[in-house]
Amino acid sequence: MKFFKQSAALVLGFLLMAGSVFAQGNPMQQKMQQAQADSITNEDLKKFAAVTSDVNEKIDAEIVSLLADKEMDPQRFQEIMMKQRNPRSDSADVTEQEQKTIDEVQPKLMKVQQKEIMNAMEKNGLQPQRFQAIVKALQSNPEVVKRYRKITQEEQQQSEQN
């Protein structure tokens, strides 16, 4: 279970990173982003959560598959990736072999993730532009993040009850 929780954080990190280029800009762009963030409905956030959930399942399986012939545990891979993406965390002590594995696996994983995101958006009825707006809102608006966390926690509790 811990592996899947870490995976969810890793995939969400990838998703947010994918939209980070758009999160910066001049004050006018920031005001527009705030307006976009204010227009994010709970239904939008539920669809986004469904997309990330679908992608998480596929990425979990892909990580295991890509690392099957490598000498790296999937949990170790995720630990390193999360630490490398978080500038506030302690740097991961990464061996040369681990770095070589990451350099080989990460591009393949990103390619699979892009494909799976598109498939999951289509499946869950979320347009790419709306997806990007949600990513921007999650990057720039703490209130949207708070609502998203509440929605995902509620959905997790419901799935645990079933």
Reported in sequence order, the residue ranges of the chain that DSSP labels E, i.e. its strands, are none
List pLDDT tens digits, range 78-104. 888 888 877 676 666 889 999 999 999
pLDDT digits (tens, 9 = 90+) for 43-70: 999 999 999 998 988 998 999 999 999 8
Q: Check residue 23 and report its DSSP letter.
A: G
H-run or E-run covering 148: helix 142-161
Per-residue pLDDT reduced to its tens digit, 107-118: 999 999 999 999
With a cut of 70, say whether residue 33 has pLDDT above it.
Answer: no
> ∠ CA(136), CA(140), CA(146), 5° rounding?
100
Q: Is the pLDDT of residue 36 over 70?
A: no
Residues present in the chain in total: 162
Least confident range of 5-9, 71-75, 150-154:
5-9
Determine the Cα angle at 77 with ends 73 and 80, to 5°. 135
Global confidence as pTM: 0.70
Residue 50, number of CB atoms within 10 A of its CB: 17
* DSSP of the chain: -HHHHHHHHHHHHHHHHHTGGGG---HHHHHHHHHHHHT--HHHHHHHHHHHHHHHHHHHHHHHHHHTTTT--HHHHHHHHHHHH-TTSPPP---HHHHHHHHHHHHHHHHHHHHHHHHHHHHHT--HHHHHHHHHHHHH-HHHHHHHHHHHHHHHHHHHH-
